Homo-oligomer: A and B are copies of this chain.
Amino acid sequence: MAEYIEPIARLVNEFSKLPGVGRRSAARLAYHIIEVSEEEATELAKAIVNVKRRVQLCPQCFDLSEGGLCPICADPKRDASLVCVVGDPRDVSAMERTGEFHGKYHVLHGTISPGEGRGPDDIKLKELLSRLADVREVIVATNPDLEGEATAMYIARLIKPMGINVTRIAHGVPVGSDLQYADEVTLGRAIVGRRPL
């Protein structure tokens, strides 16, 4: 006979499509749903449907938004002359958690990757260029990997001629890490990027 009755098999199958959830975890989640109250299960189901219905892209920065401008673009206290370019909406959350950035964002939704057939037109790059009229500095905070670096270079080449400062987030050893375990590329960048004490 089948391992699970149909409604459970179906739920295990749906859960196992989630990232990082294997068959075993999916079964654990499914049995958890069976055990919780109907209200709690319904809350989860409604939150899933709700997020699909209500989350859209901000027409200015392309971060996730509930329709119309996102809270950051709509905030007059944020410095509109400073734009931080990131690859993914999650990077906006990460940046906001630092509390160090008070400008606006621009979310590219990807990086230029010839290997995967993604060119400049496949990310929100034209949209970035079209909003730079009153901007004095663009901080490129794409990922510190090969594609992120290439995308940063590409953006710099486009924007510098417009008379706008283009900066890159610093590479270096992570705070709280152990120097002896730092890879040589990172450590090399940390030396080159050293700052006066």
Contacts and interface: CB of A to CB of B under 8 A. Distances in A.
A90 interface: yes
Contacts of A14: 43-44, 47-48
A159 interface: no
Given A5-B70, A70-B5, A90 B33 contact: no
Contact of A72 (B1, B8, B48): B1
Interface stretch (A50-58, A111-119, A141-149, A171-179): A50-58
A31 interface: yes
Given A28-B19, A32-B18, A96-B3, A8 B40 contact: no
Interface size class of A (residues with CB under 8 A): 35 or more
How many identical subunits does the complex contain?
2
A52 B38 contact: yes
A46 B44 contact: no
A153 interface: no
A149 B25 CA distance: 27
A164 interface: no
A128 B112 CA distance: 64
A6 to B, nearest CB: 7
A4 B93 contact: yes
A70 B7 CA distance: 13
A7 B53 CA distance: 9
A29 B40 CA distance: 18
Contacts of A43: 14
A7 B10 CA distance: 25
Nearest first, the 8 A-B pairs at minimum CB distance are A45-B45, A11-B47, A14-B47, A45-B48, A7-B54, A14-B44, A7-B51, A11-B51
Interface of A: 1-8, 10-11, 13-15, 17-20, 25, 27-34, 38, 40-52, 54-55, 64-66, 70-72, 75, 89-90, 93, 96-97
